[in-house]
Structure 1
Amino acid sequence: MRIVATGMLLAMAALFVAARATAHLHPAVGFVQAFAEAAMVGGLADWFAVTALFRHPLGLPIPHTAIIPRNKDRIGDTLATFLRDNFLTPAVVARRMRHMDVAAAAGRFLASPSGGDGRLREGASRLAADILEALDQERLGGMVKGAIGQRLRAINMGPLIGQAIEAAMRDGRHGPVMDSLIQWADRALEANEHLIRQMVHERAGKVLRWTGLDENLANAILTGLRKMLADMADDPEHSLRLKAEEGMAKLATDLQFDIEMQAKVAKIRDEILDNPAMQRWIEGMWEQARAGLLRAVRDPGKAMAGRFGEALRALGGTLQQEARLRLVINRFVRRAAVGATASYGDAIVRLVSDTVRGWDAGTVTARLEGAVGRDLQYIRINGTLVGGLVGLAIHAVDTLL
């Protein structure tokens, strides 16, 4: 496009020279000369304006040129502020998460048939069935359900979760989780691309919307985010990935040693256990386990095959059917996402700002010019044509008057 724009400017120059040399042949040639002259002025003016964004025109240190290289730090800070104010705020994350039914998605996943079929050993299953047949069903069921709830409430879940996260990170088992999160983020970015474009359009200034650069800015933001996610997926040592791992490590530490964080986890645990749907699910699990144990006395191997899988499928069905339980789980997921944004959003924003500051001027210029440079060349082309038409109109008015 740079070649096309420059070629059009040279063509106007050649046309001007030819028209000037043959102006005496016919009065109409004057119109051609006026068009070519004004087109050269318009094309040169827009060439200067476009070039001044990225470098000094003709290498001359003219004031207010090479705008982007000279202001790359301010551009990085502005981009970071834009991300913080429009994406990485608890209010924005909560609003987006409100439309996501994570519990229903988990229910559909758990309800799908699985390949595992955990078994109890034959002798243990027969012994359990004999004991169950000798005891009162309702009383034992109430005792079991009460014991399960009591034991779950007695467990301090925060340190356990924190230790699990810490152990996974220590053994490197968190890598697939990070990869899955990056893939999910990429799919979420693709699914919400129109929202980002709309947000950029609404928040862009009138000048940017009038020139159409808001679309270029949106494209640049989306391209940058996709490039960042691709780099994170390919590079285990990516700085943002390391920053996320630092956040996971801090979360693991808070879960193990922060009393306030442990209290929050305990409150969520109690809310889930107090939910009637969860109580019915525990009761259903108990009934299924008891029936399976009783059948095991006749054919323990076949009857007990896949009991754990059946329990998971039952949980999946419960999650899909019980709206109140889904509400509790989705509220927990939303609070977790909002909390992570509130705690670590500023660190991500600083990473963006520091990354842009760390780029040299040539890198910033090359990336931005690669993103929007093609469209900027259209400005040169339009400037050449519009300038020529204005010159033609002025010459026509001058001739007629």
Structure 2
Amino acid sequence: MRITATLMLVLMAGLFILSRQYLDLHPAWGYLHAFAEAAMVGGLADWFAVTALFRHPMGIPIPHTAIIPENKDRIADTMAQFLRTNFLIPSVVARRMQNMNMARAVGGFLAEPTQGSQSRIGSGAAELLAGVLESLDPDKLGGQVKAGLKSQAKKIEISPLLGQMLSTAIADKRHLPLIDAIIRWSGLTLEDNEEMVRQMISERANGIIRWTGLDGRLSASVLDGLYKLLAEVLVDPEHPLRDKIQEGLDQLAHDLVHDPKMRARVERMKDDVLENEAVARWWEGVWERMRAGMIRMARNPDTVLGGQLGSSLGELGDALREDTQLQTQVNRFARRTAVGVATRYGDQIVQLVSETVRRWDARTLTDRIENAVGRDLQFIRINGTFVGGLVGMTIHFLDGLFYG
């Protein structure tokens, strides 16, 4: 297409020279001459405009040319800021999670039947244990167990425990499957929201890019680059992005242990869950099923204790699926967690995007974008040649009409 557009420009130059020889023979040659002259001007002007997007025309460092390579770092910062202001602000995260019912999804998972491990108890100890458990008043003991568990849970500050667990998992490299899952989820989320991303990039593109039709191609190139980046991160255990995620997890583990605000936030979420009546009923049900299960296991050592725990988890799953109040509490906890992550670690994510784009080679980036949209860019030159010629003929006609 570049050769075609250039040959059209050469053709117009030939017509311009040829028609100049016969201007006195017939008025039609004047129209052809005006068409060729204006077509050359239009073709050259559009060649300059298209070339200036990607490089200096003829290698001459004219101001405001080579726009994309000269502004690569600014483009990186703009993309990062776009991500920060449109995706990683608390109000956007909260709104996106408003219609997500995570509690119901977890409930559906827990409601599935599970299998436990077998254990045996000697006949004498088993009989004694069964007699003790049967002698206890179920209702009174259930209330005491519920109150005791709730009291103990309130005394335990879970934020440091979570931080230490996360630190231990990171030290043992047990967090790597979680990172892979996050990367895959990011790719699926990006795929599900491709049209929204394309539209947002198009709306924020400047007038020149929209006029040249680059906004669609640029959004496609950005999406392709993001997909490629996610694929590279997924298959390359030494990728710099993994280091950034690692830094974020290390910071989260540190904040869970040492940041008073983070610890207070986690404690408030824990208290909200403990005060829910559905959770209280679940505590009672867990104890009663554990007691009944231990009695059956004591009477029959072949009984599967894990099966009773699985049944209790199934009951919790049913509660999560059916109790809207409990769903509200759990979903609020998840939403607050996501908003907190966006608030505290959004700047690190934005910095990662900016640094990644800055590391891209300017020439490679420019060549890829130009190859992706090159056909349409050359059509701009072709159209400019034709439109310029038509404008030249029109001016020639008006000139002859009013001043001939």
TM-score by shorter chain over 0.5: yes
1:296-375 to 2 correspondence within 5 Å? 296-297=297-298, 299-302=300-303, 304=305, 306-375=307-376
1:83 is matched with which residue? Answer: 83
Distance (whole Å) between structure 2 residues aligned to residue 170 and residue 110 of structure 1: 29
CA deviation after TM superposition for structure 1 residue 232, in Å: 1.9
CA RMSD of aligned residues (A): 3.0
2:250 is matched with which residue? Answer: 249
- Residue by residue over 1:330-367, the C-alpha shift from the partner in whole angstroms, topping out at 9 and shown as x without a partner, is 22222222222222222222233333444443244234
Distance (whole Å) between structure 2 residues aligned to residue 376 and residue 295 of structure 1: 78
CA deviation after TM superposition for structure 1 residue 51, in Å: 0.7
The amino acid across from 1:333 in the alignment is A
Distance (whole Å) between structure 1 residues aligned to residue 18 and residue 132 of structure 2: 109
Please tell me whether the aligned partners of residues 240 and 348 of structure 1 are also in contact (alpha carbons under 8 angstroms): no
Please tell me whether the aligned partners of residues 163 and 256 of structure 2 are also in contact (alpha carbons under 8 angstroms): yes
Partner SS for 1:348: helix
Please tell me whether the aligned partners of residues 5 and 379 of structure 2 are also in contact (alpha carbons under 8 angstroms): yes
2:266 is matched with which residue? Answer: 265
2:194 is matched with which residue? Answer: 193
Distance (whole Å) between structure 1 residues aligned to residue 307 and residue 340 of structure 2: 38
- CA 1:342/1:298 → structure 2, altered by over 3 Å: closer, same or farther? same
Distance (whole Å) between structure 1 residues aligned to residue 129 and residue 32 of structure 2: 102
Q: Does 1:103 align with 2:103?
A: yes
- CA 1:130/1:383 → structure 2, altered by over 3 Å: closer, same or farther? farther
- CA 1:137/1:353 → structure 2, altered by over 3 Å: closer, same or farther? closer
Distance (whole Å) between structure 2 residues aligned to residue 100 and residue 273 of structure 1: 22
* 62-71 vs 277-286, which moves further: 62-71
Distance (whole Å) between structure 1 residues aligned to residue 126 and residue 394 of structure 2: 97
Distance (whole Å) between structure 1 residues aligned to residue 376 and residue 310 of structure 2: 56
- Residue by residue over 1:47-78, the C-alpha shift from the partner in whole angstroms, topping out at 9 and shown as x without a partner, is 11111121111222333322222333333222
- CA 1:326/1:375 → structure 2, altered by over 3 Å: closer, same or farther? farther
Q: Does 1:118 align with 2:117?
A: yes
CA deviation after TM superposition for structure 1 residue 183, in Å: 0.8
1:140-155 to 2 correspondence within 5 Å? 140-155=141-156
Distance (whole Å) between structure 2 residues aligned to residue 121 and residue 283 of structure 1: 26
- CA 1:314/1:34 → structure 2, altered by over 3 Å: closer, same or farther? farther
Please tell me whether the aligned partners of residues 119 and 307 of structure 1 are also in contact (alpha carbons under 8 angstroms): no
* 298-307 vs 71-80, which moves further: 298-307
- CA 1:180/1:28 → structure 2, altered by over 3 Å: closer, same or farther? same
The amino acid across from 2:224 in the alignment is T
- Residue by residue over 1:219-265, the C-alpha shift from the partner in whole angstroms, topping out at 9 and shown as x without a partner, is 34323332332222122222232112111111111212333322222
1:160 is matched with which residue? Answer: 161
Please tell me whether the aligned partners of residues 118 and 307 of structure 1 are also in contact (alpha carbons under 8 angstroms): no
CA deviation after TM superposition for structure 1 residue 163, in Å: 1.1
- CA 1:289/1:51 → structure 2, altered by over 3 Å: closer, same or farther? same
- CA 1:2/1:330 → structure 2, altered by over 3 Å: closer, same or farther? farther
Distance (whole Å) between structure 1 residues aligned to residue 246 and residue 275 of structure 2: 33
What TM-score, normalized by structure 1, do the two folds share?
0.87
* 83-92 vs 116-125, which moves further: 116-125
- CA 1:373/1:308 → structure 2, altered by over 3 Å: closer, same or farther? farther
* 183-192 vs 302-311, which moves further: 302-311
- Residue by residue over 1:110-147, the C-alpha shift from the partner in whole angstroms, topping out at 9 and shown as x without a partner, is 22344x43334354776544332122111121222222
Distance (whole Å) between structure 2 residues aligned to residue 393 and residue 130 of structure 1: 108
Task: Percent identity, please.
Answer: 55
Distance (whole Å) between structure 1 residues aligned to residue 202 and residue 126 of structure 2: 65
Partner SS for 1:237: coil
2:131 is matched with which residue? Answer: 130
Runs of at least 5 residues in structure 2 that lack an aligned partner in the other structure: none
CA deviation after TM superposition for structure 1 residue 165, in Å: 0.6
* 355-364 vs 242-251, which moves further: 355-364
Q: Does 1:57 align with 2:64?
A: no
- CA 1:178/1:303 → structure 2, altered by over 3 Å: closer, same or farther? closer
CA deviation after TM superposition for structure 1 residue 171, in Å: 1.0
Distance (whole Å) between structure 2 residues aligned to residue 315 and residue 396 of structure 1: 85
Distance (whole Å) between structure 1 residues aligned to residue 313 and residue 232 of structure 2: 36
Q: How many residues end up aligned between the 2 structures?
A: 400
Please tell me whether the aligned partners of residues 290 and 309 of structure 2 are also in contact (alpha carbons under 8 angstroms): no
1:7-46 to 2 correspondence within 5 Å? 7-13=7-13, 28=28, 31-46=31-46
Runs of at least 5 residues in structure 1 that lack an aligned partner in the other structure: none
* 253-262 vs 363-372, which moves further: 363-372
What TM-score, normalized by structure 2, do the two folds share?
0.86
CA deviation after TM superposition for structure 1 residue 384, in Å: 2.4
The amino acid across from 1:383 in the alignment is G
The amino acid across from 1:71 in the alignment is N
- CA 1:171/1:127 → structure 2, altered by over 3 Å: closer, same or farther? farther
Please tell me whether the aligned partners of residues 159 and 256 of structure 1 are also in contact (alpha carbons under 8 angstroms): yes
Distance (whole Å) between structure 1 residues aligned to residue 48 and residue 272 of structure 2: 65
